Amino acid sequence: MTTSEVALLGIRHHGPGSARAVAAALAQWRPDAVLIEGPPEADGIVHLAAEKDLVPPVALLAHAVDDPAKAAFWPYAEFSPEWVAIRHAVEHDLPVRFIDLPAGYGFAPAPGEDAAPETAAEEGGSEEDGAEPAADPLALLAEAAGHDDAERWWEDVVEHRAPGGDALAPFAAVAEAMGTLRAEGLGGSRRDLLREAYMRQQIRAARRAGHQRIAVVCGAFHVPALERMPTVAHDRALLAGLPKKVRTDITWVPWTHRRLSQATGYGAGVQSPGWYHHLFTTDGDPVPRWLTRAADLLRAEDHPVSSAHVIEAVRLAETLAVLRGRPLAGLTETLDAVRAVLCEGSDVALELVRDRLVVGDALGEVPDTAPAVPLQRDLTRLQRSLRLKPEAAPKDVDLDLRKETDAARSRLLHRLRLLGVDWGVPARSSVNSTGTFRESWRLCWQPEFAVRIAEAAQWGTTVEEAAVNKAVGTARAAEELAELTGLVETCLLAGLSGALPAVMRVLADCAALDADVAHLAGALPALVRALRYGDVRGTDHGALAEAASGLAERICVGMPPACVGLDAESAAAMRGRLDEVHGAIGLLTAGTDTPADTPAGPAPDPDGLAGLADRWAAALRSLARREPAGGPATGAPGLLRGRAVRLLLDDGRLDSEEAGRRLRLVLSVANAPADAAGWVEGFLTGGGALLLHDPRLLALLDEWLTGVSGEVFTDVLPLLRRTFAGLEAGVRTTIGGRVAAGPLGEPPAAQAAAGELDRTRADAAVPVVALLLGVRPKIPRQAAGPDT
């Protein structure tokens, strides 16, 4: 709509049809200044759009200088009308200004509030307009036109429409429709009124600057408010109630199509950015080319798709469009054709097309000249030197820590995780390896990492410095011992030798004051795991070994009494701790249990670990003997006593005879059935194969179970079912066969010997077996005939 020297181009954000219309209108109108809905703070960096290294999708990131967590994004794709307007302005060397309400006002707390309200970009949505109107204007217009689907109607009348002879005519029609809606009472929020008042002020400023032909690109909903200008005093009165503007920094950051498709967080709610990109960048009929791309994708995934499939899919999409009364085949018709023809009805294959083509993994690029905090620049330098390119699509990477480059990559990823930037997350490797020299990661770059990097910049100007300071700060604020030991492990993985002394001091102080055995048991495994990386990563682990051995000694002393009087839930949690501590002590004392003596005397034990395994075994024996003689509160639960016996048995510190004796005592009539069932659960956890190797244990269990009364059996059944459900399927099947075959008191060899061998039937199978093996059969003489 043109009023004197101003052309108001009302658009729908991220719409390819609107983008094409804006390009045609600017070419026809030939403005001498371009005003765009967006944060005015970006005026100083908009010129970067002229650089070839600024590749959409990108976004403007604004954040409060004193609190980077207060941030907002304004994303732009290649098919965004605002991006088209920016590119037109910089290519024609025209002044371009953003005229929306400054982002600094959005970060400021409203009067009477303690925190800044959420900005539009944080809330997401298809427009960065703040609160949306009470009703959807497009839905009302579609309903007035007799359509029940607003998105399909908008695609038909705008997105699929090519610019006509008068490029400004579509904008005049949209402005008239929006003016009618607003005249009927469809108004915006108070924030919309403030934004529109500020936009009008900027239009007046452009006029005062002497510009004669001004193009304004803004959301179509705002056009009526900008078309009829109220007085300057009116707008000043509206803007007088704004809070004090917060000091703000702004820059360009890479964006992704996948983030554009999300309607929450920092997304924009564009459901099909990949399809929109194709519509905008393809000349002529977009459907055949898009279906060709879909066929290429499916072929790459081993789906049998031929050229004939593509031809039939194009015909089907066009036919569906005619049947549905649409001028052109849209995304709905195209996907229906893909499902029916290319995917042969498979929704799995169709979902692949949706993910890769309808949405896509396009990731934008930003030039080095864009403003950035020093931490971001250091990260960019490391990414290039280590050849780790950020990508939007998930990528699995296997690292060999014996190689210098891979070790440096591992340190970088661990440091970023410490800073809250989860670019890489540990993954399960496709290579079977139990060595500590291999790590597997899944890398996936997310646009919001730019905000987290800005937040982490308070800790330092380089990744290493920031990670060291963050680790020390986290250690000083930690309240749990397990959190500190986990932090120690992270520091070792990340190669933060500068943080370890401070973290270890805090750990030592916390461990000295913490008397809770459960806390100590939860902290030990992470500390012992950290020791494993000393050889591969070249770290000095003397202080770690000393701290770990100190924790282990205290656990050995405190574990048995800490297990007394626990309820079922606490006992289950303690069983997990018991297993973790057992594995940690086994790892800690590997090779140091019995140091070899030398002629000069006993072998040195610098870490003081010799004998720790014996002391832990003594603690397990003490726990196994703590039976509830005077009631459950006077002893350890059967779950923990049984687990202690099993751990001793697995380590060879208890023979099967003694284990059988203990099981016989537990299953006697003197013990409560519930306690006995818990003992059996603890004893069998981790594998029931010992019941097959020692049939006497299985016979004891069978005898006890068959002797339990019906009422008691109902009470212990859930425990028993849970116990046996945890066994391997093959073990359960074999146990069932043994019980069915009986007698259980005899070993399998004795059971086999009890049956007589039918030699005649056995010899009959010899020729067939020999033929299968390709050897000459040897038939015993007593079975041979007279001609043999």
Confidence of residue 265 (pLDDT cuts 50, 70, 90): very low
The predicted structure's pLDDT at residue 593: 46
Lowest-confidence pick of 15-24, 202-211, 484-493, 710-719: 710-719
Dist CA 632 CA 643 (whole Å):
17
Report the C-alpha gap between 227 and 6 in whole angstroms: 9
Cα pseudo-dihedral 174, 178, 180, 182, rounded to 10: -170
Instruction: Tell me what pLDDT residue 114 has.
Output: 47
Lowest mean pLDDT among 461-475, 484-498, 562-576, 650-664: 650-664
**Which tokens is 510 given?**
């916390």
Q: What is the rounded CA–CA span in Å between residue 689 and residue 520?
A: 32
Q: Report yes or no: 556 and 615 within 8 Å, Cβ to Cβ.
A: yes
Average pLDDT estimate for 249-275: 78
Q: Is pLDDT at 130 greater than 50 in this prediction?
A: no
Q: How far is CA 141 from CA 135, 144, 156, 178, 276, in A?
A: 11, 5, 13, 9, 22
Distance in angstroms (rounded) separating the CA atoms of residues 131 and 142:
21
Q: How far is C-alpha 646 from the chain's CA centre? A: 37
Q: Give the C-alpha separation, 127 to 74, whole Å.
A: 9
Q: Poorest-confidence range of 468-477, 611-620, 628-637, 708-717?
A: 628-637
**What 8-state DSSP symbol labels residue 733?**
H
Average confidence (pLDDT) over 261-277:
71
What does the alpha-carbon distance between residue 150 and residue 156 come to, in Å, rounded to a whole number?
Answer: 10
pLDDT tens for 214-240 read 999 999 889 999 988 899 999 999 999
Q: What is the mean pLDDT of residues 456-473?
A: 93
Coil, strand, or helix at residue 59? strand
| Position 263 pLDDT exceeds 60 | no
Q: CA 314, 354, 121 angle in degrees (round to 5)? A: 125
Neighbours of 27 (CB within 10 A): 12
Residue 565 scores a pLDDT above 90 = no
Which residue is associated with the tokens 């004891």? Answer: 700
Structure tokens at 760: 């005649």
Distance of CA 503 to the CA centre of its chain: 28
pLDDT for residue 448 is more than 60 = yes
Torsional sign, CA 146, 149, 150, 154: negative
Q: H or E stretch including 524?
A: helix 517-531
Mapped onto helix, strand or coil, the DSSP state of residue 481 is helix
Q: Does pLDDT of 139 surpass 90?
A: no
307: number of Cβ within 10 Å: 9
Average of per-residue pLDDT across 692-719: 75
The interaxial angle of helices 612-625 and 638-650, nearest 10 deg, is 140
d(CA 634, CA 563): 10
What is the distance between the alpha carbons of residues 82 and 76, in angstroms, rounded to a whole number?
7
| Distance, C-alpha 781 to centroid of its chain | 71
Rounded distance between C-alpha atoms, residue 219 and residue 217, angstroms: 7
- C-alpha triplet 680, 685, 689: angle, nearest 5°: 90
CB-based contacts of 481, cutoff 8 Å, min separation 6:
507, 510, 511, 514, 519, 520, 522, 523
Buried b (16+ CB within 10 A) or exposed e, 261-270: bbeeebbbeb
DSSP conformation letters of 254-266: E-BHHHHT-SSTT
Across 374-420, the runs of DSSP E, i.e. the strands, are 395-400
How far apart, in Å, are the Cα atoms of 465 and each of 457, 495, 625? Answer: 10, 12, 52
Phi, psi (5° rounding) for residue 598?
A: -115, 165
Q: For position 117, what pLDDT does the model report?
A: 39
pLDDT digits (tens, 9 = 90+) for 741-774: 766 655 544 444 445 667 888 888 888 888 888 7
Q: How far is CA 38 from CA 243, 448, 597, 731, in A?
A: 19, 19, 78, 67
| Nearest 10 degrees: Cα torsion 277, 283, 284, 286 | -20
Residue with tokens 């990097």: 453
Give the per-residue pLDDT at 80.
94
Nearest CA to 72 out of 26, 137, 129 is that of 129
Confidence of residue 166 (pLDDT cuts 50, 70, 90): confident
Out of 247-256, 594-603, 671-680, which region has the weakest mean confidence (pLDDT)?
A: 594-603
Nearest to 487 by CA among 436, 547, 552, 444: 547
The answer to whether the beta carbons of residues 7 and 216 sit under 8 Å apart is yes
